Amino acid sequence: MTTAKLCIMIAIAVYLLGMLYVGYRCSAKNKSTDDFYLGGRKLGPFVTAMSAEASDMSSWLLMGLPGVAYLSGISDAGWTAIGLAVGTYINFLIVAKRLRRYTYVAGNSITLPQFFKNRFHDDSHILLIISAVIIVVFFIPYTASGFAACGKLFSSLFGIDYMAAMIISAIVIVAYTMLGGFLAASTTDFIQSIIMSIALIVILVFGIRVAGGWDAVVKNAEALPGYLSMLQSYDPVTKTATPYRLITIFSTLAWGLGYFGMPHILLRFMAIENEHKLTMSRRIAVVWVVISMAVAVLIGVVGYSMSEAGELVVLTGSNSETIIVRIADLLSQNGVIFALLAGVVLAGILASTMSTADSQLLAASSAVSSDILNRNGKSGIIAARITLLMIAVFSIILARNPDSSVFQIVSFAWAGFGAAFGPVMLFSLFWRRTNKYGALAGMLVGGAMIFVWKYLVRPLGGIWDIYELLPAFLLACAAILIVSLMTAPPEQSVLDEFDQAAHGCKQK
């Protein structure tokens, strides 16, 4: 093993041990399921903001987004980033405070399924069970994408077996999440967001220097038709530009709609110590997400220029998602200090993956143990840990194909949550007339349409080639509106709670 590889392994090992230590330290604070699932509602504004965004961005930020920009230019990645930035701002602005307040009013709900059940006084528990099942269905592939990213990282860097690398990474993620629960996940996410930021800056600066400077980067990109255009997309197969249609722009911007239904992000809003601190959280989150996504897109463009300069091999297909790994490997060949710095960069990729996977595993396990099995107290924590382990195993099985695309897997799971929960969340918080029948219809229509549109409608091409989140979201909204108006209005007690949440109340 070379000195560079050894330094990288040392840096990554220190990082992984640090995450396990955080899990161990947080484990002593878990006295109840409220602590394990929601950290006792004691998160500060910085941890809320940065852990929300770190758990949001996942490996998609350091692998998927640069990979898309590397292959086809800035349009696809750029419009996606704009949609996500706008979605982040609106989610913090209109959803965060109301959700924090309403979950306390509605029986001090500590999970999203519990909130839906308590919000509509659903004694049948159908809303709780359906929403818990949806969480498990879409979080397994989402978590699988994170495990796949870890496998690609170590496999491409050290040449070790993909499955072995993925399993080792999964063990570390599962270990500290099982130990420390939500508090550990949020604390490590905060740390990981800092490491991700360092990784992005280091790679961008180094990449530009190796590519021959910023002028060389721009010159190489301009040589490809449509590569730097937001209204055209570069086709790496035909090497021509294709128009980026208006419907495609709206379809791509629709990524922002997903925020309203993301359990692992919404849980951060529910867990903050005080709703008034969410204003600061919003500012921190929006600034970080805009800068980080812009840098990630630029890294893809810079990476192409490095390939043109002969510093990197030309990457095709899903291999383009390893662009930061390749640049970090090149960085490590410049001496011990740079090798350790490369290790920090690669730890950043691990951080982006782990920060999302831990939150997803926790949300999925709470959906099973607390919402479906109805376990609380110490037995509930034990059940949550066992469930978490089982979900991790299923995710590993799903991610066993090394050629799977992180971007595509995340895209599908993101659409699923956005359509199944997003409309229900917005109507629950802001439309007094919404009833449990409308909420159930919205969940079922939104979740089902993701599969229908992706596998039956979108393959038709042409005007039907729209990101499945947009049509599914709109149809779910229509279902909630129509079914709620066609059925009996909510009981007075439900309306009283809505008014209490809308106008403020004394919080825990």
Mean pLDDT of 21-31: 65
Output the pLDDT for position 508: 44
More confident residue, 111 or 105: 105
Output the pLDDT for position 388: 73
Name the H helices within 223-312: 246-253, 263-271, 278-308
Output the pLDDT for position 507: 46
For the chain, helix (H) and strand (E) counts, in that order, are 20, 2
**CB-facing half-sphere around the CA of 77: CA atoms within 13 A:** 32
| Distance between CA atoms of residues 498 and 502, nearest Å | 6
Output the pLDDT for position 449: 96
Burial 39-74 (b: 16+ CB within 10 A, else e): bbbbbebebbbbbbbbbbbbbbbbbbbbbbbbbbbb
pLDDT, tens digit, 9 for 90 and up, residues 403-437: 666 567 778 888 999 999 999 999 999 999 999 99
pLDDT, tens digit, 9 for 90 and up, residues 50-102: 777 766 676 667 777 898 899 999 999 999 899 999 999 999 999 999 999 99
Residue 261 CA, chain-centre distance (Å), reads 11
| Distance between CA atoms of residues 51 and 55, nearest Å | 6
Q: What is the mean pLDDT of the chain?
A: 82
Mean pLDDT of 448-455: 94
Output the pLDDT for position 506: 47
Mean pLDDT of 354-361: 64
Mean pLDDT of 392-412: 74
pLDDT, tens digit, 9 for 90 and up, residues 463-495: 888 999 999 999 999 999 999 999 999 999 999
Q: Looking at the whole model, is its pTM more than 0.85? A: no
Burial of 388 (0-12, 13-18, 19+ CB in 10 A): buried
pLDDT, tens digit, 9 for 90 and up, residues 226-260: 999 999 999 888 889 988 888 889 888 998 999 99
pLDDT, tens digit, 9 for 90 and up, residues 114-138: 899 999 999 888 998 898 888 888 8
- Dihedral of CA atoms 27, 33, 38, 42 in degrees, nearest 10, equals -70
Q: Taking 50 as the threshold, does the pLDDT of residue 270 lie above it?
A: yes
Mean pLDDT of 152-157: 72
